[in-house]
Structure 1
Amino acid sequence: MIFRFRVILDNDTEEDVFRDLEIRRTDTLEDLHNSITQAFGFDGAEMASFYLSDDQWNQGEEFSLFDLSDGLDAVSLMNETALDGILSEQQTKLIYVYDFFNMWTFFVELAEIVDEVEGVDYPNLMFVHGQIPDDAPEKTFEADDDDFDDFDEFDDDLDLEDYDGLDFDENWN
């Protein structure tokens, strides 16, 4: 079976920029990453991650290109994650971020699942629309004022001058 994806650049330009890709359902997220970077003309040398997403495009579990956790946390890696292991007719959306310095952000949606066509090489770039801009679109990270109403940085009743009450062994090593 073949997964058909629409990959849309998250941008605020006048023209939509997207690519339609086909890839085997048993391929990995790393294979999809390579297909996306080639389809949009990136060299593929930058850090990238996929994130599971819901219908409102909220960012969920991360699947990273490399393990940068220093072994502290479990990390899901692209090369260990098959597409059909995380995507289905019910779970169709991913967010893809390429180059964390420039934050190229893409909405990736599984559009349909079809039979493999004999003679077609996969992955397959099916359709190209729009030119990618020279620079990544600016991102605005905003929160509503009421998102922080319940936050009080110093609401912990901690006396920083009371060393005996801190339960801290200053000679721990």
Structure 2
Amino acid sequence: MAVLKFRIYFEEDDSIYRDVVVKHKQTFLELHQVILKAYEFDSKHQATFYRSNDHWQRGREISLEKYNKPYKAEPLLMDTTIIGTEIFDPNQKFVYVYDFAKNWTFLVELINVSKEENAKLTYPVVIRTEGIGPSQYGTKGIGSDKLTEIEEKYDLTKGAEGFGEEGEDDDDKDSNEEEEESTEENEDF
């Protein structure tokens, strides 16, 4: 069974991307779910894929559900549309839009097709993560939960062990003793 490797770029910064692999007989619903997982988004909002060309122009829609909006052509539905049926090009592209209010947009590009499945993987799966992705509901990065966990683990608060004023008095005492010793030596001459 063919395995498709997609690179999902965050539209605003192409240095931020996730590589995912899916079986060609899996649905767009499964691709949608693995993209949300890869970018740590919840699944509470509307979403749609658009078949695309090399210039990222939006074509036929593959939607989570039929929404109350005008369509040029009836959308395909994610849960019944097999990914392999929409691959017409070895570098097939899709535009993925999540949460129509925030309009999170991702560029999905087929980058590899393999005939060999990896028995150790449960498809679909994220296999590569590059860059810090956008935060769905706020900021990510410096104030992230992971940094907070590190601070708590190593207790990086002021006055914590290893960061206090311990040992500073010992240094002063040592240098005073050294001065006294050198003064005594000079008096011998």
* Residues 1:11 and 2:12 aligned together: yes
Aligned-pair identity (%): 32
- SS of 2:79's equivalent in the other structure is helix
- Could you tell me how far apart the structure 1 residues matched to 2:83 and 2:52 are? 14
Deviation at 1:118, TM superposition (A): 1.9
When normalised by structure 1's length, the TM-score is: 0.71
1:106 equivalent to 2:116? Answer no
Larger helix fraction of residues: 2
What is the CA deviation profile of residues 17-56 of structure 1, one whole-angstrom value per residue up to 9, with x for unaligned ones? 1000011110001100000001000011110000000011
Tell me the TM-score normalized by structure 2: 0.65
Which runs of 5 or more structure 2 residues have no equivalent in the other structure? 138-189
User: Which ranges of structure 1 fall in alignment gaps of 5 or more residues?
Assistant: 137-173
* Larger radius of gyration between Structure 1 and Structure 2: 2
When the two structures are aligned, how many residues end up with a matched partner?
134
Would the aligned equivalents of 1:69 and 1:75 in 2 still touch at CA under 8 Å?
no
After the TM superposition, which residues 49-88 of structure 1 pair with which residues of structure 2 at under 5 Å, given as runs?
49-69=48-68, 74-88=74-88
CA distance in 1, matches of 2:75, 2:89: 25
- Tell me by how many angstroms 1:82 deviates: 0.3
* Matched-pair contact (CA < 8 Å) for 2:11–2:105: yes
Secondary structure of 2:25's partner? coil
| Distance of 1:119 and 1:109 partners within structure 2 | 24
Q: Is 1:54–1:91's contact at 8 Å kept on the other side of the alignment?
A: no
Aligned-partner Cα distance in 2 for 1:74–1:20: 30
> CA shift at 1:76, angstroms?
1.2
**Once superposed, which parts of structure 1, at least 4 consecutive aligned residues long, lie more than 4 Å away?**
none
Taking structure 1 as reference, are residues 51 and 121 closer, same or farther at Cα in structure 2, changes over 3 Å only? same
Distance, in Å, in 2 between the alignment partners of 1:43 and 1:19 is 16
Q: Distance in 2 between matches of 1:133 and 1:89?
A: 29
Give runs of aligned pairs for residues 21-32 of structure 1, distance below 5 A: 21-32=20-31
Q: Deviations over 1:55-95 (max 9, x none)?
A: 1111101111011249x973311111100000144461000
CA change 1:16–1:90 in 2 (3 A) is closer
Matches within 5 A, 1:16-165: 16-69=15-68, 74-90=74-90, 92-114=92-114, 115-134=116-135
RMSD: 2.2
